[in-house]
Structure 1
Amino acid sequence: MISRGWIIVLILASVACSQDEQSPYETDNSPDQIEGYELVWHDEFNQGQKPDPSNWSYEYGFVRNQELQWYQQDNARIEDGRLVIEGRREQVKNEFYDSTSTEWREERRFAEYTSSSINTRGNQAFQYGLVEVRARIDTARGMWPAIWMLGTHPERGWPANGEIDIMEYYRIEGEPHILANAAWSDGDYSPIWDDAKIPFEKFLEKDPEWPEKYHIWKMDWTEDYIKLYLDGELLNEIDLSETLNPDGFNPFHQPHYILLNLALGSNGGDPSDTSFPKQYEVDYVRVYQKM
């Protein structure tokens, strides 16, 4: 016969196991300390119901790459200690619609999908250090999640201001890939890319349950290089002595701000046969700099 005390212990153990299975994100509010570095900014997404407006702002409408989604605030929320960016199949009227326009942002009467894109522009920007993001991405057809950064120079546009893609997931010739990139200008409004494109099959071979799990993307950024990692594996190293725009400006020797978004369609592929909603979940964003 099992005593009442043992029954209580077994019940508590069962509850703890159940909570562990359902809570794969961190909830302890205790960012790791890294020797030689100071934690200068972080968001653990443990407070409130929406991203903190002192850190994050939103993109709105159709924005880039002829993607399918309409970006709006409603698709980003804080839930159970994580940021959830949700892609939905829903029709939204394009308030910028112009029946006479041939510009893709204006010629569409409706958007058939919605999502969110948030960024720290004007609130938080960083030059050099470590950026670490723990996230879980949905790898279904049509998904294009990203963790990326853009330069802050007020008089320079893209790509002269620089772009760092700590993480992108999308399809190349129909096949899914994880990407780790940086881009700068060729002087003619076109980007020069230093990119790594790793077939997603490589990660599935190591772990068939990879899409169900959280992973850690990290950037190590100094005056000399940018190194981009996934779960401790170096994916790409960019030599910053070679990232000069034609006018001599190096966009990676200036502060950058952070963007988190889930795009749909375009490079992500056709989502018409994909079930919705889809979620891109971010456990935390942490920035460290050398002491």
Structure 2
Amino acid sequence: MLLKSILLIVCGLLLQSCGSYHYQSGIPKKVKGYQLVWNDEFNIDGKPDPENWTYESGFVRNNELQWYQTDNAVCKDGHLVISANKVHRANPNYIEGSDSWKTNRAFVEYTSSCIITRGLQEWENEGYYEIKAKVDTSSGSWPAIWLLGTYGGWPDNGEIDIMEFYRIDEKPHILANAAWGTDKKWVAAWDSAKIPLAHFTQKDPKWTEKFHIWAMEWNSTEIKIYLDDELLNEIDLTETVNTDGRNPFVNKQKFYLLLNLAIGALGGEPDVDSFPLKYEVDYVRVYK
């Protein structure tokens, strides 16, 4: 057993030193022109690394159905697994007659997790980001890989959606977006690519059963978002200027990463028989 372990370590080091592009034993690939500055391979079973991740809690945004909590994010067998569960329990923040969607629901019907790197791992704009993940495409599912700027409120701080999956006119789509501020509070300008899921499943009928690689190349003039090396969206950063003249994607502010599985809203009506839903992430890697 000891000899086998030593051989595996030596082989892994050899692959790394040769610049191998194979995903072996959680060894990040080399990317020409970039240096790895942070990664999480989710190789230790249990809760996500507290040096990298914290959690959102409760009902958070978009009138979504899920209650975010820590219990639904677990690392197992080299993957982060975010599960969405069907439940029925009292909403601890319930206020009878409240006008807020966060407090006028008497019950929590779904739970899930949103893990974020804010305050722990943040990066100035520009770089190469790569995430390997498998999404649950059941009705009601709304998983995402996204970044938010740390300066100011949304959307003036800037948002990048490396991946979203949800339904448009009841048809499932993969999206790649960026958002920035307008002259109206809480109203964003968007550069969005919306690709029907059928575009991918027609080429591979087993697409939904597999892990896929989302990547983002970000420089001073553009953001390019890819899925399995296919360019989904090319965002011109000369156009992403807030009405106050600030451009969140070219100023030297920091961004943090969010991984979440929302339920309902744009995800569509949940298919109760499909629960629990599972959103799995193999790794996250950031290069500068």
TM-score, length-normalised on structure 2? 0.89
Distance 2:98 2:272 in 1: 29
Q: Which amino acid aligns with 1:104?
A: W
Residue 177 of structure 1 pairs with residue 176 of structure 2: no
The answer to whether the 8 A contact 1:142-1:269 is kept is: yes
Summarize the alignment of residues 72-221 of structure 1 with structure 2, pairs less than 5 Å apart.
72-126=69-123, 127-153=125-151, 156-189=152-185, 190-221=187-218
Alignment-derived partner of residue 266 in structure 1? 265
Unaligned runs of 5+ in 1: 1-24
How far is the alpha carbon of 1:31 from its aligned partner?
0.5
The answer to whether the 8 A contact 1:225-1:238 is kept is: yes
Distance 2:42 2:23 in 1: 10
Distance 2:219 2:254 in 1: 12
How far is the alpha carbon of 1:51 from its aligned partner?
0.5
Residue 50 of structure 1 pairs with residue 47 of structure 2: yes
Alignment-derived partner of residue 256 in structure 1? 255
Distance 2:135 2:277 in 1: 9
Distance 1:230 1:146 in 2: 13
Q: Which amino acid aligns with 1:171?
A: R
The answer to whether the 8 A contact 1:26-1:283 is kept is: no
How far is the alpha carbon of 1:35 from its aligned partner?
1.8
Q: Which amino acid aligns with 1:267?
A: L
How far is the alpha carbon of 1:100 from its aligned partner?
2.6
Deviations 1:126-173 (A, max 9, x none): 1210000000001010000000000011xx111110100000000001
Cα distance change on mapping 1:50 and 1:273 into 2, 3 Å: closer
Distance 2:84 2:280 in 1: 11
Distance 1:202 1:165 in 2: 19
Alignment-derived partner of residue 5 in structure 1? none
Distance 2:62 2:141 in 1: 14
How far is the alpha carbon of 1:27 from its aligned partner?
5.9
Q: Which amino acid aligns with 1:209?
A: K
Summarize the alignment of residues 17-32 of structure 1 with structure 2, pairs less than 5 Å apart.
28-32=25-29
Bigger shift: residues 54-63 or 245-254: 245-254
Give the root-mean-square deviation of aligned CA atoms.
1.2
The answer to whether the 8 A contact 1:27-1:81 is kept is: no
How far is the alpha carbon of 1:26 from its aligned partner?
5.5
How far is the alpha carbon of 1:223 from its aligned partner?
1.2
Deviations 1:94-135 (A, max 9, x none): 111111311100000111010000000001111210000000
Matched position secondary structure for 1:203? helix
Deviations 1:7-56 (A, max 9, x none): xxxxxxxxxxxxxxxxxx95613100112210000000002401111110
Q: Which amino acid aligns with 1:219?
A: M
The answer to whether the 8 A contact 1:70-1:92 is kept is: no
Matched position secondary structure for 2:156? coil
How far is the alpha carbon of 1:91 from its aligned partner?
1.7
Residue 246 of structure 1 pairs with residue 243 of structure 2: yes
Identity %: 58
The answer to whether the 8 A contact 1:115-1:262 is kept is: yes
Alignment-derived partner of residue 18 in structure 2? none
Q: Flag the structure with larger Rg.
A: 1
Matched position secondary structure for 1:242? coil
Deviations 1:241-273 (A, max 9, x none): 110101111111222100000000110010144
Distance 2:206 2:282 in 1: 18
